[in-house]
Amino acid sequence: MKVVVAGTGYVGLITGVVLAYIGNKVVCIDVDQEKIKLLRQGKSSIYEKDLDKYLLLAKDNLTFTTDNSCYKDSDVIIIGVGTPERQDGSANLDYVYDVCNNIIKYANKDMVVVIKSTVPIGTNDEVEKYLSSKRKDIKLTVVSNPEFLSQGSAIHDTLYASRIIVGAVDDNAFKVMRELYEPLLKEPYNVPYLEMNRRSAEMVKYASNDFLALKISYINEIANLCNKVGANIDEVTKGMSYDKRIGSLFLKPGIGYGGSCFPKDTKALHWLSKINDCELTLVKACIEINKKQKLILFNKLREDFNYSLKGKKITILGLTFKPMTDDLREAPSLVNIDMLLDYDADITVYDPIALDKVKKIYNNKIKYANTIDEAIKNSDAVLIMTEWAEIKNYNIDNYTKYMKYANIYDGRNCYDPVIMKNKGINYYSIGR
């Protein structure tokens, strides 16, 4: 099947690579010429496990371009561009409609247009109306096909997806989508495949992400209460996890969620509920809880240092919102850097992947270290923001060896509190 994928960010690129790997002829298009140049050389423009490997495996079925004429003769066009949040929390659909305008200009036959980008409920209907109003000579059928990948395991999450959701109102569109994904519905993948109406498909994406964000926020609230009453969140979550109705996933406390999905999707669904006079107060509370949780280490640090951080050397270990990605979107580390700068702290940061990206944001306002040892040298305090393996496996004796004062504020619960205490380290973690 001839497929065009618009956008080569996380969603678009992963989708294009996997669809090419399973046998479709795929063209990925993007307006960023430098990104396309890299991809043509077989080099990924994003950091993602196994992506380079699958770029190579799929290369015979995969091409990259900036030329909009690629929309001609396609069977399926997949829109995987960004839908960033606006100031009011709503989704910005400008990039989606930019792609639509190119489809209108170049499409030369009946096509299925798949919206994989996360969009507000009703967007697929509006896009189909827009396309059909501009091109009455051909049939452009819109399908909702939300993604459920997780950064750091996106290739696996697409090949062995928890489910494929397809929302359409046209029997032929359902038929085309089944053909597109057919290899994934068989051995060895056996991905569950669900068909429904478009608005339900759009809602599945938001409802799923917001439920997980709620679960994270809930356990963070419980962890904060554990700190106050002397309970241990590790023991609490273990006890909870044996209840099959609850499970063990997304019960790890920390300093809040970040990335490209949960923050944006919670705000978008809350905005949608408000304009429909059906405000989701749980989602609203989730947003507020997460905002406060990101600063829980900073507030504890500030309290311990009698609200004066001027000239104190503070080290931040881990900058990305989670390990195994270079994504800094909504990362708790950035909020904390901004607060520390506001309090005139002397900041040094370390991350195994994201240093170059952070340098573009802060330039010479902060210092950058190439190793953990270098980062913590003569520090007054360390804030752990990302649970990278090398941070979790770090020789904790080096904290007392290299730091001025061994004050560790661990936002990801990387270490055993008893061991840290026995080593003479002042250790603060979440809910323990």
User: Tens of pLDDT along 381-408?
Assistant: 999 999 999 999 999 999 999 999 999 9
pLDDT single digits (tens) 123-169 = 999 999 999 999 999 999 999 999 999 989 999 999 999 999 999 99
Q: Considering the domain 296-428 in this protein, what is its CATH number?
A: 3.40.50.720
Which contiguous run of DSSP H or E holds residue 351?
A: none
Residue 352's alpha-carbon distances to 268, 278, 315, 371, 416, in angstroms, are: 32, 44, 14, 8, 23
pLDDT of residue 12: 96
**What gap in Å lies between CA 277 and CA 279, rounded to an integer?**
6
Kindly tell me if the per-residue pLDDT of 103 is higher than 90. yes
Kindly tell me if the per-residue pLDDT of 260 is higher than 90. no
Domain coordinates in residue numbering, the chain: 2-196, 205-291, 296-428
pLDDT of residue 237: 98
pLDDT band at 301 (very low <50, low <70, confident <90, very high): very high
Kindly tell me if the per-residue pLDDT of 307 is higher than 90. yes
Q: By the 8 A CB rule, do 39 and 64 touch?
A: yes
The total number of residues written for the chain in this structure = 432
Task: Assign 3-state DSSP to the chain and report helix, strand, coil percentages, each to 5.
Answer: 45, 15, 40
Q: Which two tokens stand for residue 135?
A: 């091109």
pLDDT of residue 333: 98
Q: What pTM value is reported for the model?
A: 0.94
Kindly tell me if the per-residue pLDDT of 111 is higher than 90. yes
Kindly tell me if the per-residue pLDDT of 117 is higher than 90. yes
Contacts 24+ apart (CB under 8 A), 333-338: 333/385, 333/386, 334/361, 335/294, 335/295, 336/294, 336/295, 336/297, 336/298, 336/383, 336/385, 337/362, 337/366
**What gap in Å lies between CA 259 and CA 275, rounded to an integer?**
25
The string of DSSP codes covering 212-271 is: HHHHHHHHHHHHHHHHHHT--HHHHHHHHHTSTTT-STT----S---SSSHHHHHHHHHH
3-state secondary structure of 280: coil
Fold matches, 2-196 and 296-428: yes
pLDDT of residue 285: 98
pLDDT band at 14 (very low <50, low <70, confident <90, very high): very high
Kindly tell me if the per-residue pLDDT of 45 is higher than 90. no
User: Rounded to an integer, what is the distance from CA 352 to the centroid of its chain?
Assistant: 18
Beta-strand relationship, 381-384 and 367-368: unpaired
Beta-strand relationship, 140-144 and 193-196: unpaired
Considering the segment(s) 205-291 as one domain, its CATH architecture is Orthogonal Bundle (1.10)
pLDDT single digits (tens) 359-379 = 999 999 999 999 999 999 999
Query: Which of the residues 28, 100, 226, 261 is marked catalytic?
Result: 261
State the average pLDDT over residues 183-201: 98
State the average pLDDT over residues 92-121: 97
pLDDT of residue 95: 97
What burial letters (b/e) apply to 367-385, b meaning 16+ CB within 10 Å? ebbeebeebbbebbbbbbb
3-state secondary structure of 151: coil
Share of the chain above pLDDT 90, in %: 97
Question: Which fold, 2-196?
Answer: Rossmann fold (3.40.50)
* CA triple 222-223-226, angle to 5 deg: 90
State the average pLDDT over residues 417-428: 97
Q: By the 8 A CB rule, do 2 and 76 touch?
A: yes
pLDDT band at 41 (very low <50, low <70, confident <90, very high): very high
pLDDT single digits (tens) 54-98 = 999 999 999 999 999 999 999 999 999 999 999 999 999 999 999
* Average pLDDT along the chain: 97
State the average pLDDT over residues 221-233: 97
What burial letters (b/e) apply to 347-358, b meaning 16+ CB within 10 Å? bbbbbbbbeebb
Q: Does 286 qualify as catalytic in the annotation? A: no
